[in-house]
C-alpha cells in the first residue's frame, strides 16, 4: 500500500474560474494543472513547471524553469531558464539572470542584469535590457530601453504597464540627440544654424497675369508633423507626405562625412534591416543601406522619398504591413538629415 500523501501545512492551493492558484514558501515541481487553463503560482524557492503549455503568472524566489510552451503571462524569478520551446508572453524578468535556449520568442520585454540567449533563438522581442554584452541572435527588434525611449518615447509607461521598472530604478531619460550641423573648426566661433528651408515656390514675373493664380505662402503651410499614432495605425495607408519628408537642398552639393551623424544613420538603418528576416531584406532597404554607407548626405536627402515609396510598394504588393519600427526609423533618418 502506498504511503499517504500529505499536503504541507504551508501550502495554499485553490482554483477559481479556470485558474490554479498555488502559494508555497519552498521548492515546487509542478507536472499537472488540475484541469485549469491558467496558472497563478508564487513560491519562495525554486519552481519547475513541466506542462505541454503554460499560461499565467509564475513567480519564484529562486530559479524558475519551464519545460513546455509558454502561451501568455508574466514570468519572474531570481533566475529564469528556458529551453527549445515557443514562448509568447508579456514579460520575462529576473533579479539576476535569464538563460534562453534556441526558442521561438514573441515577448514584449526581457529584462535582467544578465541575459544569455542562444544564437539560434528566433522571433521578435520589443525590448531586451541587460548589463552584459550579448552575442548576435536571429531575434528581430531587441531594442534597449534607451533606444525605445529615443525612438518611441514612454519607455517608463511601457515598463509600468507590465509591472516592471528599469534595472537601476528611477526613470528612463532620453539622451540628447546629436547635433545635426557640422562642428566649427578650432579657433573659430560657432556659426548659428540656418533655419529650415521653406518649401520652394515658383517666382512669378511682375507682368505675368498668372501671378494672381499663384499660391501664396501662409501660416497654413506650417503643418505639424504626423503623430506616432498616425504612422502606427495603418502603415499600408502611409504616403510620402505622412513621413514628413520635405524638399531638400540641391543634391549636387557635397558634404564631408560627419562621423557622429554617420553612426546615427547607420544605427537607424540597422534597426530597419533587423525588422526583416535574413535573406528577405526588400530591395529599397538595400538601396538605403548603400546610400548611408556611401556617406553622401545630399544624395540621401534627394533619394529618401523614392526609397520610402519603393518600400511601401513592396509591402502593398505582398499585402503585409511594415513593422512600425521601420516607419519610426525612416523618420529618424529624415530628422537627422534636416539642417540644424
Q: Give pLDDT < 70 ranges for the chain.
A: 1, 174-257, 339-340
Is residue 58 within 8 A of residue 39, CB to CB? The reply is yes
pLDDT value for 257: 62
Domain for residue 291, yes or no? yes
In a domain, 316, yes or no: yes
123 and 248 housed in the same domain: no
Taking residue 331's Cβ as centre, other Cβ atoms within 10 Å add up to 21
302 falls within a domain: yes
Residue 170, domain member (yes or no): no
How many separate domains does the chain show? Answer: 2
How many other C-beta atoms are found inside a 10 Å radius of the C-beta of residue 144?
14
pLDDT of residue 339: 67
Q: Is 117 inside a domain boundary?
A: yes
Predicted pLDDT of residue 148 = 83
| Residue 314 within any structural domain of the chain | yes
Residues 236 and 135 grouped into a single domain = no
Identify the pLDDT of residue 1: 67
- pTM, two decimal places: 0.56
Q: Has residue 195 been placed in a domain?
A: no
Q: What is the pLDDT of residues 177-210, one digit of tens each?
A: 554 444 443 443 443 444 444 443 333 344 444 4
Helices 297-318/324-337 angle, 10° precision: 160
- The pLDDT score that the predictor gives to residue 176 is 56
Cell for 129?
A: 535590457
**Residue after which a domain boundary falls, among 92, 113, 145:** 145
Last residue of a domain, one of 83, 110, 145: 145
Q: Which of 99, 123, 145 is the last residue of a domain?
A: 145
Q: What is the pLDDT of residue 86?
A: 95
What residues contact residue 150 under an 8 Å CB cut-off, 6+ apart?
Answer: 174, 175, 177
Is residue 326 in some structural domain? yes
- 40 and 139 fall within a common domain: yes
Task: Give the domain range for residue 291.
Answer: 230-337
- Tell me, yes or no, whether 22 and 120 share the same domain: yes
pLDDT tens-digit series, residues 30-69: 999 999 999 999 999 999 999 999 999 999 999 999 999 9
Amino acid at each position: 500500500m502506498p504511503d499517504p500523501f500529505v499536503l504541507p501545512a504551508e501550502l495554499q492551493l485553490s482554483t477559481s474560474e479556470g485558474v490554479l492558484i498555488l502559494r508555497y514558501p519552498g521548492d515546487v515541481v509542478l507536472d499537472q494543472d488540475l484541469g485549469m487553463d491558467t496558472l497563478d503560482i508564487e513560491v519562495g524557492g525554486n519552481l519547475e513547471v513541466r506542462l505541454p503549455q503554460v499560461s499565467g503568472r509564475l513567480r519564484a524566489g529562486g530559479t524558475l524553469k519551464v519545460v513546455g510552451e509558454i502561451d501568455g503571462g508574466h514570468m519572474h524569478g531570481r533566475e529564469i531558464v528556458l529551453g527549445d520551446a515557443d514562448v509568447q508572453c508579456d514579460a520575462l524578468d529576473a533579479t539576476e539572470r535569464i538563460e534562453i535556449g534556441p526558442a521561438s520568442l514573441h515577448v514584449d520585454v526581457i529584462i535582467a542584469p544578465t541575459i544569455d540567449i542562444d544564437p539560434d533563438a528566433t522571433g521578435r522581442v520589443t525590448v531586451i535590457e541587460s548589463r552584459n554584452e550579448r552575442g548576435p541572435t536571429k531575434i528581430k527588434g531587441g531594442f534597449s530601453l534607451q533606444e525605445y525611449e529615443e525612438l518611441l518615447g514612454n519607455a517608463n509607461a511601457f515598463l509600468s504597464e507590465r509591472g516592471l521598472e528599469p534595472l537601476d530604478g528611477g526613470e528612463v531619460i532620453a539622451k540628447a540627440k546629436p547635433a545635426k550641423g557640422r562642428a566649427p573648426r578650432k579657433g573659430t566661433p560657432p556659426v548659428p544654424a540656418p533655419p529650415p528651408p521653406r518649401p520652394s515656390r515658383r517666382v512669378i514675373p511682375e507682368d505675368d497675369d498668372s501671378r494672381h493664380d499663384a499660391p501664396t505662402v501662409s501660416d497654413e503651410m506650417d503643418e505639424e508633423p504626423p503623430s506616432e499614432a498616425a504612422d502606427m495605425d495603418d502603415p499600408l495607408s502611409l504616403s510620402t507626405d505622412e513621413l514628413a519628408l520635405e524638399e531638400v537642398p540641391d543634391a549636387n552639393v557635397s558634404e564631408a562625412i560627419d562621423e557622429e551623424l554617420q553612426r546615427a544613420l547607420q544605427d537607424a538603418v540597422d534597426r530597419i534591416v533587423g525588422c526583416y528576416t535574413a535573406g528577405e531584406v526588400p530591395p529599397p532597404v538595400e538601396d538605403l543601406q548603400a546610400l548611408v554607407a556611401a556617406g553622401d548626405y545630399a544624395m540621401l536627402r534627394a533619394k529618401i522619398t523614392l526609397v520610402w515609396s519603393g518600400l511601401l510598394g513592396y509591402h502593398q504588393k505582398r499585402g503585409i504591413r511594415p513593422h512600425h519600427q521601420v516607419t519610426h526609423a525612416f523618420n529618424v533618418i529624415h530628422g537627422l538629415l534636416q539642417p540644424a
